[in-house]
Structure 1
Amino acid sequence: MPRNGRRQLITATFVVGTLTAAAACSDPSAGQDASGNTTITVALAANPQMKTAESLISDFEKKNPGIKVKFTTLPENDLRPAVTKDVATKAGQYDVAMIGSYEVPIWAKNGWIVPLGSYVSKDTAWDASDVLQPIKDIVSADGKLYAAPFYGSSSFLFYRKDLAKKAGVTIPQNPTWQQVAAAAARMDDKKSGVSGICLRGLPGWGQNLASLTTVINTFGGRWFDEKWQPQLTSPQTEKAVKFYVDLLRAHGQQDAAKDGWEGCLQQITQGKTAMWYDDTVFAGSALQEATSQVKNNLGFAMAPVDETKASGWLWSWGLAITQSSKHKDAAWKFISWATSKEYIMLAGTKAGWDAVPPGSRTSTYSIPQYQSAAKSYADLTLKSINAANPKRPTVDPVPYTGVQYVQIPEFTDIGDYVSQQVAGAIAGTQSVQQALKKSQSYTESVVKKAGYLK
């Protein structure tokens, strides 16, 4: 996830006027070669499922002669600032942008992406009614679809059944965080190079804060009260953050502040951690990449809770057409292909059923091959998605929506700053209280300047 996102957005906005004028005078044939083929550029996050789509692009180009696809694949921390700058300035570098559910309503309001309703209504084979409703909702704005979901996800617990049995602990299907912490202590085996748990420690509003915010929510904390007063130093928030930091420092992976989901995925697949709390989308990748011992003993459970009944997040990576694209119809053809029922069958057949993008379509969960491959996590994924409530993510009422993020433009700036402070507490360079005091002050200054606080 990006650092200094708000500053980059502001910088991009200042140069909108200059580059918009240049784009308006550009050659309408741009993106076409001497043979008249149209080339569209697609910006993707460097996640396993997206890499699968890139490897299968010959199928799209065979079915759509005259359209060539060029991919720009970037790590999440690099993707967002690059694409945000492009769409904000209308530079037109990307025809299709993979954006998260956080960005969709913000970018739609700014007019940076195209509503997809007219394309969807004409493309009956795409079958909008098959898209899972909670996922459709978070890639829409004002009732209009702005991004076609490539995958949808929540969060849950990965754990090693063999290590749990060896330690004499039972992981229930609906664990509490206290049960998870106790299990981590029992399964921690540093002499054998196995941590009790792996959690995101890497700074970034979509890295350590994604996991941590769900813990804050279920512990009774929240980012803001109903009057937009920051609540980062409240007893509930402090308790949650201290729990997360203490758990990582006592029983987490070494140098936890350097690990995001990539590091933890590697830890679990290589048998270096007993548990991992993260995105449901990584279940298939974990099973595909795991050693045989890990694969045969990997179990899954719902996101751990404290005061709430559920605590999993809600997310989707979606494909959107940029307003500055000169090839919008060709862009939709790619999006339709990459998010279709037919693509899911193609990915399963060619790359393996654990490689298909989950959580986007109801029909995926009726495919016999997928049911067989994903039997240990498919139902839990759907249950987790349906249990998430972005309109009421916390114990107490809040003025924002979003489970693992706050749906306001300023959150990229706030979240990146706070995540740096949390990483410092995880690394031991400051206390949790110091980290939260700085975070409270910074957040308050940002929301005051933005006009949330009077």
Structure 2
Amino acid sequence: MQGRRQALALTAVVMIVAAGLVTGTGQAAPSVTLTIATVNNPDMVVMQSLTKDFEAKNPTIKVNYVVLPENDLRQKVTTDVATGAGGFDIVTVGTYEVPFWAKNKWLVSLEPFFSGMSSAESAAYDRGDLLKPVMKALTVGGQAYTLPFYAESSMTYYRKDLFARAGLTMPLHPTWDQVAGFAKKIHNPSQKVYGILLRGLPGWGEQLAVLDTIVNTFGGRWFDMSWQPQLTSPAFTNAVTFYAGLLRSAGEPGATSSGFTELETLMSQGNAAMWVDATVAAGYLADPKTSKIAGNIGFAYAPTEVTPKGSHWLWAWSLGLEGSSRHKAEAFKFLTWATSPDYIKLVARSRGWVAVPPGTRYSTYNTPGYKRVAAFAAVVEDSINTADPTNATLENVPYTGVQYVGIPEFAGMGTTVSQFIAAAIAGTDTVPSALQKAQQSVEQTMKQAGYLK
């Protein structure tokens, strides 16, 4: 009898424990929590809203997001991965960081995880469908270290209704001189309609992203083949003078506080005639659920000037496994869910084809539903395919990159330079003075880093 009571008691304990491991729906309770560091861009916000699909398919995994502005994300994630704190399992990484983070083992190669996939899983994911220029930028030593959540180039957005009212026609391939002329003619700040929106917020990934494409197409470069800084060269000076002057004469007020997110909001609310920026915004601006100008938005290639080289960038926000993560296998499941063809179809079903993450898969651009609603698709795909980080300047340079210089020191020096340029944009300093300070700062950095003697 005593033994029977002990057996019953043991059975009860097992049932209680089992009940604690199962949800009310009969699914296992989450035993792993993945923490993802990401940016507050619209496509990432959509991913968060759809994460319940992943959690339903993987009931033992819960996903937690840490969402930050771009500049804050880079600082926080860099600190976390560099110290091995392990605060994140999955990090949102740009094309600039991937080579350095892979070398420092802050990211781990995804190849062993792909090798562990079943043939059915591999076929469903279809790595060959990922855009080759994008994957090339995310591959180091023949191994993929991140997967693209969305990829982009840069392009020109314009209000067709305002152009028609002003009797203007936007060319498919405009020049910066043409764009400036259009902006000044339409600029109407009293009605809160600005001629053009351009990033002025300091940051190598904010202000300089757009400005560096202008430097390139004006014939400028950051360094000559001996790593001598060229920030006071005529071409570089002309580009910055043009940029600062255009913002002051026909741009948004308080430009030095405006980055991508702020400008996307202004454009979608109908407060500008033009915006030159990331192609990723195309879907947001063309979607009547998120944009007041969806019926009047036009698309053109990024402007050029002296040369087409480097006039439009290549970038991807990609997802990678942090080296110090203790849940890499589970994190890889999330990576392949969020970057899969099935995820794109999930977004299409829930938000419409216009809202799917762009620039990652050939199949997206071959889908009739996407072609039907995405008037921008051809320009975006062509811009991504023709952006060449290895040949982005008129004169030869010792670095790769379109809107950045592909060396570890650029993040710090670029941000510092952008602060000097912000003063010129704001009118508290002159362009020659700002660039002289920037030149001296970059020279000092390059000497300390051993590029210059």
Determine the structure 1 residue equivalent to 2:136.
137
1:97 matched to 2:71? The reply is: no
How far residue 292 of structure 1 moved from its aligned partner, in angstroms, is 7.2
Q: Is the 8 A contact 1:44 1:50 kept in 2?
A: yes
Q: Is the 8 A contact 1:269 1:289 kept in 2?
A: no
Q: Secondary structure at the match of 1:278?
A: strand
Q: Secondary structure at the match of 2:151?
A: strand
Moved more, 290-299 or 222-231: 290-299
Q: Secondary structure at the match of 2:181?
A: helix
How far residue 290 of structure 1 moved from its aligned partner, in angstroms, is 7.4
1:62 matched to 2:56? The reply is: yes
How far residue 303 of structure 1 moved from its aligned partner, in angstroms, is 0.5
User: Which structure 1 residue ranges, 5 or more long, are not aligned?
Assistant: 1-31
Determine the structure 2 residue equivalent to 1:408.
407
Moved more, 257-266 or 101-110: 257-266
Q: 1:450 to 1:348 in 2, by over 3 A?
A: same
Determine the structure 1 residue equivalent to 2:306.
307
Determine the structure 2 residue equivalent to 1:86.
80
Distance 2:300 2:394 in 1: 22
Moved more, 112-121 or 156-165: 112-121
Give CA-to-partner distance per residue, 1:23-59, whole Å, 9 cap, x none.
xxxxxxxxx9996711111111111001111101111
Q: Is the 8 A contact 2:284 2:291 kept in 1?
A: no
Determine the structure 2 residue equivalent to 1:207.
206
Q: Secondary structure at the match of 1:56?
A: helix
Determine the structure 2 residue equivalent to 1:387.
386
What letter corresponds to residue 347 of structure 2 in structure 1? Answer: A
Q: Is the 8 A contact 2:29 2:59 kept in 1?
A: no
How far residue 354 of structure 1 moved from its aligned partner, in angstroms, is 2.4
User: Which structure 2 residue ranges, 5 or more long, are not aligned?
Assistant: 1-20, 23-27
1:330 matched to 2:324? The reply is: no
Moved more, 302-311 or 194-203: 302-311
Determine the structure 1 residue equivalent to 2:44.
50
What letter corresponds to residue 321 of structure 1 in structure 2? Answer: L
Determine the structure 2 residue equivalent to 1:6.
none
Distance 2:288 2:313 in 1: 24
Distance 1:350 1:356 in 2: 10
1:180 matched to 2:174? The reply is: no
Moved more, 266-275 or 232-241: 266-275
Distance 2:304 2:377 in 1: 20
Q: Is the 8 A contact 2:30 2:62 kept in 1?
A: no
Distance 1:308 1:136 in 2: 26
Moved more, 305-314 or 332-341: 305-314
5 Å-filtered alignment, 1:44-443, equals: 44-121=38-115, 122=117, 123-124=121-122, 125-288=124-287, 294-310=293-309, 311-374=311-374, 376-443=375-442
Distance 1:431 1:290 in 2: 42
What letter corresponds to residue 317 of structure 2 in structure 1? Answer: W
Q: Secondary structure at the match of 2:194?
A: coil
How far residue 191 of structure 1 moved from its aligned partner, in angstroms, is 3.1
Q: Secondary structure at the match of 2:293?
A: helix
What letter corresponds to residue 129 of structure 1 in structure 2? Answer: G
How far residue 288 of structure 1 moved from its aligned partner, in angstroms, is 2.6
Determine the structure 2 residue equivalent to 1:28.
none
How far residue 287 of structure 1 moved from its aligned partner, in angstroms, is 2.2
Distance 1:45 1:291 in 2: 18
How far residue 65 of structure 1 moved from its aligned partner, in angstroms, is 2.3
Q: Secondary structure at the match of 1:158?
A: strand
Q: 1:292 to 1:332 in 2, by over 3 A?
A: closer
Give CA-to-partner distance per residue, 1:265-308, whole Å, 9 cap, x none.
12211111100000000111122367876221110100000122
Give CA-to-partner distance per residue, 1:132-153, whole Å, 9 cap, x none.
0110011111221100010110
What letter corresponds to residue 339 of structure 1 in structure 2? Answer: T
Distance 1:222 1:172 in 2: 27
What letter corresponds to residue 367 of structure 1 in structure 2? Answer: T
How far residue 76 of structure 1 moved from its aligned partner, in angstroms, is 1.0
What letter corresponds to residue 65 of structure 1 in structure 2? Answer: P
Distance 1:191 1:76 in 2: 31
Moved more, 289-298 or 104-113: 289-298
Q: 1:319 to 1:210 in 2, by over 3 A?
A: same
Distance 1:269 1:339 in 2: 26
Moved more, 277-286 or 183-192: 183-192
Moved more, 258-267 or 221-230: 258-267
Q: Which structure has the greater CA radius of gyration?
A: 2
| TM-score, L = length of structure 2 | 0.90
Determine the structure 1 residue equivalent to 2:16.
none
**Count of aligned pairs:** 422
How far residue 351 of structure 1 moved from its aligned partner, in angstroms, is 2.1
What letter corresponds to residue 328 of structure 1 in structure 2? Answer: K
How far residue 75 of structure 1 moved from its aligned partner, in angstroms, is 1.2
Q: Is the 8 A contact 2:125 2:341 kept in 1?
A: yes
What letter corresponds to residue 59 of structure 1 in structure 2? Answer: D
Q: 1:290 to 1:258 in 2, by over 3 A?
A: farther
Distance 1:312 1:208 in 2: 14
